[in-house]
Amino acid sequence: MKKHLTKKKVSEKTMRILFYLLLICVSFVFLEPIFRIISKTFMTPEDVIDPGVNWVPRKLSLNNLKVAIKVLNLKTTLVNSILFSGALAVGETICAAITGFALSRYEFAGKKFWYVMILLCFIVPTTVLMVPRLMMFVTVQEAVKYTLIGTPIPQLLMSIFGQGVNSTILILIFQNFFNLIPKSLDEAAMIDGAGPFRVFVHIGLRLSLTTVLVVFLFAFVWNWNETYVTGTLLRSGLQLLPSKLALFDSEFESAVSSTGSAFKLNEAYKMAATFISIAPLLLLYSFVQKKFIEGIENTGITGE
């Protein structure tokens, strides 16, 4: 009996070691692209084509970063990107909060139907919606004689009305959080004469400040990374970091040809540009990573 027990313990221990090994290997595969971005960022052009140099550059060079910052026009694009994503995220957060509140608090007719529609919104590929959306905005633009295409207005409208990037997930996060707040709080407030809107602000929002932050951050990050809708509606109206990155190769060539120097585009420049464009997100993640993961856990889409 005793022998059996120890045998079991040993096998459990080897199992655990195997698990850790597996996780470490997988972690490496996850992080390998990021490591590669970082290592290439600091390589000299000679190191890039040298097969003997794999990860660690022979000589650290900040030249790539400097060039990439210049080509990306970082000062403008960074501010633009932050303001743009921030504005869209605020819109999305507000709409997600009130929609989530409605789903969590009220038993209105057709609630199930709308809930399914919210889920369907996530499934339908954005590609299928973009042609009419574009035509709609162009038509309205002609009708009111006010430029819409090339400004953030169309996307702002879509965000405020709950059709932004991954709005469905944000709504679900809010709905699940509001479900945790006891309904008796609402009732108490109503007896004291608060209307539905005051209940929402003073009970719903007040108690969910962290959720508001999480949803805002998700919306921010997703809007930052979104390029399809932005490319169709905003086009080059605003210089944004990710879209600049997409155009990096051609921008680089034109910048070089205008100065007449003998620079050649190589992986190191591209990776430096990539590094710069994800750096703000990495920074954000390093501060609030727990909140992000909890946010997804709280969608509750796996339960029930």
Partner 1 sequence: MKKMKTWKQRQNRSGYAFMMPWIIGFAVFTAFPFAATIFLSFTNVSSTILGYEISWAGLSNYITAFFKNVEFLPALGGYLRMAVPYTFVIVVVSFIIAYVLEHIGKLRGFFRTIYFLPVIIMSGPVMKKLLDTKVSDMQLLAGHTYSDIFIIQMIASYSRAAAGLITDVFQQLSTILWFTGIPIVLFINGLQKINPSLYEAAKMDSANGWQILWKITLPIVRPTALIITVFTIVQLGMFDINPVYSLIVTYMGNTSGGLGFAATYAWVYTLVVLLLMGVAFLIFGERKSKVKHY
Report 150-189 residues binding partner 1 (CB under 8 A). Answer: 157-158, 160-163, 171
Q: To which residue do tokens 């709308």 refer?
A: 114
CB atoms under 10 Å from CB of 211, counted, come to 26
The binder of partner 1 chosen from 42, 84, 101, 216 (CB under 8 A): 101
- The answer to the question of residue 127 lying near partner 1 (CB under 8 A) is yes
- The answer to the question of residue 245 lying near partner 1 (CB under 8 A) is yes
- The answer to the question of residue 114 lying near partner 1 (CB under 8 A) is yes
The span from the CA of 224 to the CA of 248, in Å, is 17
Helix (H, G, I), strand (E, B) or coil at 85: helix
Report 251-280 residues binding partner 1 (CB under 8 A). Answer: 267, 270-271, 273-274, 277-278
Give the x/- contact pattern for partner 1 in 191-220, rule: CB under 8 A: -----x---x--------------------
Q: Which residues contact 178 (CB under 8 A, 6 or more apart)?
A: 100, 101, 104, 105, 204, 208
The binder of partner 1 chosen from 10, 13, 20, 46 (CB under 8 A): 20
Q: Which amino acid is at 279?
A: A
**Selection from 178, 165, 173, 237 nearest residue 207 by Cα:** 178
**Are 91 and 160 spatial neighbours (Cβ–Cβ below 8 Å)?**
yes
The binder of partner 1 chosen from 38, 69, 90, 129 (CB under 8 A): 129
The binder of partner 1 chosen from 23, 60, 62, 116 (CB under 8 A): 23
Q: Could you tell me how many helices (H) and strands (E) the chain has, helices first?
A: 16, 0
The binder of partner 1 chosen from 174, 226, 234, 252 (CB under 8 A): 226
